Amino acid sequence: MVQSAVMGYGVVGSGVVEVLTEHKDSIARRTKEEIGIKYILDIRDFPDSPFQDKFTKSFEDILNDDEVKVVAEVMGGVHPAYEFTKQCLERGKSVVTSNKELVATKGAELLKIAKKNNVNYLFEASVGGGIPIIRPLSQCLAANDVIEIAGILNGTTNFILTKMIRESMSFEDALKMAQNLGYAEKDPTADIEGYDAGRKICILASLAYGKHVYPQYVHTQGITKITLEDVAYAASWGGVIKLIGQVKKLEDDTLDITVEPMFIEKSSQIASVDDVFNGILVRGDSTGDVVFYGKGAGKLPTASAVVADIIDCVKHLNKRKYLDWADGDETIVKPYSETKYPVYIRVEVEDKQNAFNKALELFSNARALVRANAGENELAFVTDEMTVSQQEKSVKAFEESGYKVLSKIRISDL
Amino acid sequence: MVQSAVMGYGVVGSGVVEVLTEHKDSIARRTKEEIGIKYILDIRDFPDSPFQDKFTKSFEDILNDDEVKVVAEVMGGVHPAYEFTKQCLERGKSVVTSNKELVATKGAELLKIAKKNNVNYLFEASVGGGIPIIRPLSQCLAANDVIEIAGILNGTTNFILTKMIRESMSFEDALKMAQNLGYAEKDPTADIEGYDAGRKICILASLAYGKHVYPQYVHTQGITKITLEDVAYAASWGGVIKLIGQVKKLEDDTLDITVEPMFIEKSSQIASVDDVFNGILVRGDSTGDVVFYGKGAGKLPTASAVVADIIDCVKHLNKRKYLDWADGDETIVKPYSETKYPVYIRVEVEDKQNAFNKALELFSNARALVRANAGENELAFVTDEMTVSQQEKSVKAFEESGYKVLSKIRISDL
């Protein structure tokens, strides 16, 4: 019997306890070891829980118990999850987590501490919920150069965009619906501003390219400014708008890494990832495109990924797993202003033809888009590849000519 | 330096040598060991190959060289791949393979031999080419009961069906095109009759349910009888026809396992898997639906999966990996005649209305389908769930009433 502890008894934590309990026998068959839960750490009381005897409010109980070999940190947030994780690793306990915020901000440091103490720090559940992605990506890496990773990494925003696309619901109404259904939190900032997706693409990029990419160096833009007009123009262009976390290695060895809404062609496998689902595309030089699809969140999917990591730790007690990357700084990220891509622009104009003539002058190969029921004062067009700083210069010049730019959205090469 | 050998220098074998050579440094970084190729076994001569010094025509060279720790068997076919693999395992060499035929027919035995000799027998490349599926499935299994696996497992037939669906090309023309493009072999039997997909679903089922499922117990039906009329009716029903390998565990613990063309609803994530791509859906009780998508064949994708296995073996020398299942027999498979599903039926009739009245009598809840340009003598309908033996009885009675049944296709519950 190997003892574990679960820190945090929220949605994921209670799921972990449930999966470990209900799959006890099949897990024991697979690991040749029973996995016990000795402690559940939470500051709250759960008087009706059948796991009464396991609850503790004291982290020290877990830390000081040498029987506990694996700890699931499913508290979320950076503090005190960081301090707890660090102490557990230093005491020779492996830690598994679903905490993307912690991995994205402290991953390199915690992996280093794990290595030093010959234990594991695993985080399959931090990206894609129940979709296996961290392990397959590590595996892919062995025989591939990863050219690009791009994904729909946040289910809440994908649900909102799907409602806007399919039912012409406004952003505000779709957000309200997501909140009513429990997909979005009361304070939806981390989802709708792209921070959650940002943490996830940072984790994938760090793993794929071997150096920690910190979220503060990544251009991160949410979906709050997307309108139904933009959705309609995306359709007339032949695609959909999705919030994409993306990283590619550029020729100068820096990373073009970003989270932002993008126009995605309908034929792309990512375009059909709808509702609360996530889809992650990994483009390898040998494998070509591989796509992983499934529920990116939720109690049992996420818990099942945490439990898979616990099992892996139990099978590899005193043996290190493959996960590892070095620390990184802003020099590995291409400044956003220097990244290059084609763009969609929507403008409020008085005189369409003159405005379009000006667009032809300012933007690379501007081509006008049309949509049904477009107002007289609306112009939309797409361009060829331009650097962001060129785009911004052109937008400025355009606005100085009296045209108001309402939307500017990246066009993906997926 | 750990030495390996490659048996078979065909498409996959030359890809393995290429990937191992070109990714030498990154592999060494990841495994902390360089991986050398000491022998390449092939009965042919390759006078222009830069790997002259490695070629041998004698299997004994590999078998008797104790330096060789890992052998990639990429010859294909059961003999002599089986004998070679067995001998290597017995000599304490790990073996990795892309040979689905061998794994599907001898997997249980070879896994047992590997276990006894404390080496590994890995076969990530045998299903889904470059798509990681064997490992993620094993990982999934740890914390999930697998309810169902269903997939498009053969790229050649998927290419042919895609041409039929998108371009109304006939089966024969699409097959010819696939042959011209190198997607189908001169003798396309294994692909178009479903044998290749059958081997793959057997491997996935064996892994998921822990007992070897042999292809001869699995109902296997190809796509040679699919017509453009069927494709049109599938569209009017709201879906597409795909060749699906599928396994689900039934309440009596037997497996409903089959390879056959199926109607798949357009909204299913599997429906949009087109051309030579593969897509595999794994439905777990905790994770929900997870889908893996990518190129299911091809030199470099398949080679990259073989190399990932080689690396895994090198990392686990003298340590067993997780892959394992017991032997099985026909009792684990539900007889096909007792499996139950809704079905689509197309009939040649003289009098449509009378024929449909008869269909209402004989089939569970028959609902007629319509398509553009349907002939006067054509009737098509879908039914509710019926066992295959009920279906066959009804078809017989229908034909005795003078109606000729031209097509009968399973309707998937995906």
| pLDDT tens track for B207-233 | 999 999 999 999 999 999 999 999 999
CATH topology of domain B339-411: Alpha-Beta Plaits (3.30.70)
* B131 touches A: beta carbon within 8 Å: yes
Q: Hey, is the C-beta of B303 within 8 angstroms of any chain A C-beta?
A: yes
Q: Exactly one of A38, A200, A321, A358 is catalytic; which is it? A: A200
Per-residue confidence (pLDDT) for residue B140, from 0 to 100: 78
Is-catalytic flag, B225? no
Break chain A into its structural domains and give their ranges: 2-130+299-325, 134-295, 339-411
Q: Tokens 């590995």 sit at which residue?
A: A332
Task: Please say if the pLDDT value at position B321 is more than 80.
Answer: no
Nearest Cα to A277, choosing from B36, B25, B293, B297? B293
CB A151 within 8 A of CB A260: no
Question: Measured between beta carbons, which residues in chain B are less than 8 angstroms from residue A136?
Answer: 132, 135-136
User: Which of the following is catalytic: B100, B106, B163, B200?
Assistant: B200
User: Is B307 within 8 Å of A143 when comparing Cβ atoms?
Assistant: yes
Q: Which two tokens stand for residue B354?
A: 């009378």
Radius of gyration, CA atoms only, chain A: 23
Q: How far is CA B272 from CA A181, B177, B241, B301, B348, in A?
A: 28, 21, 11, 21, 31
Q: Return the CATH number of the domain spanning residue range B2-129+299-325.
A: 3.40.50.720
Q: How far apart are CA A292 and CA B40, in angstroms?
A: 34
Q: What is the pLDDT of residues A388-397, one digit of tens each?
A: 999 999 999 9
Q: Which residues of B touch A21 (CB under 8 A)?
A: none
ipTM of the complex: 0.92
Write the CB contacts of A168 (distance below 8 Å, at least 6 apart in sequence). Answer: A228, A231
DSSP code string of B202-271: HHHHHHHHSB---GGGSEE--STT--HHHHHHHHHHTEEEEEEEEEEE-TTS-EEEEEEEEEEETTSTTT
| Interface test mutation site (partner A, options B287, B315, B324, max chain A beta carbons within 10 A) | B287
Are the Cβ atoms of B144 and A284 closer than 8 angstroms? no
Inspect the interface and report whether the beta carbons of B30 and A135 lie closer than 8 Å.
no
Look at residue B30 and tell me whether its pLDDT is greater than 90.
Answer: no
A135 touches chain B (CB under 8 A): yes
The verdict on A161 touching B (C-beta cutoff 8 Å) is no
Q: Does B162 touch chain A (CB under 8 A)?
A: no
CATH 3.30.360.10 is the classification of domain A134-295: yes
CB-CB under 8 Å, A132 with B139? yes
Test A288 with B300 for CB contact under 8 angstroms: yes
Q: For the domain made up of A2-130+299-325, give the CATH fold.
A: Rossmann fold (3.40.50)
Tell me, yes or no, if the pTM score tops 0.90: yes
Residue A111: name the closest of A134, A132, A143 by CA. Answer: A134
Q: Which residues of chain A are within 8 Å of residue B124 when distances are taken between CB atoms?
A: 139
Indicate if the pLDDT at residue A323 is higher than 90: no
List the single best residue of A70, A266, A287 to mutate versus B (max B Cβ within 10 A). Answer: A287
The answer for B 226-285 residues in CB contact with A (under 8 A) is 269, 272, 284-285
Least confident segment among A341-355, B20-34, B224-238: B20-34
pLDDT the model gives residue B297: 87
Q: What burial class does residue A123 get, using C-beta atoms within 10 Å of its C-beta: 0-12 exposed, 13-18 middle, 19+ buried?
A: buried
Longest CA–CA span in chain B (Å) reads 77
User: Which site among B27, B304, B306 would you substitute to test the A interface, given the most A Cβ atoms closer than 10 Å to its Cβ?
Assistant: B304
Contact B286 A303 (CB under 8 A): yes
Q: Are A288 and B269 an interchain contact pair (Cβ–Cβ within 8 Å)?
A: no
For residue range A56-103, list pLDDT tens digits in order.
999 999 999 999 999 999 999 999 999 999 999 999 999 999 999 999
Task: Please state, for a pLDDT cut of 70, what percent of chain A lies above it.
Answer: 100
Neighbours of A336 (CB within 10 A): 18
Burial B182-203 (b: 16+ CB within 10 A, else e): ebbeeebebbbbbbbbbbbbbb
Question: How far is Cα A97 from Cα A81, in angstroms, rounded to an integer?
Answer: 10
pLDDT of residue A358: 96
CB contact under 8 Å between A143 and B298, yes or no, is: no
Q: What are phi and psi of A188, to 5 degrees?
A: -85, 10
The DSSP annotation for A143-157 comes to: T--EEEEEEE--HHH
Q: What is the mean pLDDT of residues B176-190?
A: 95
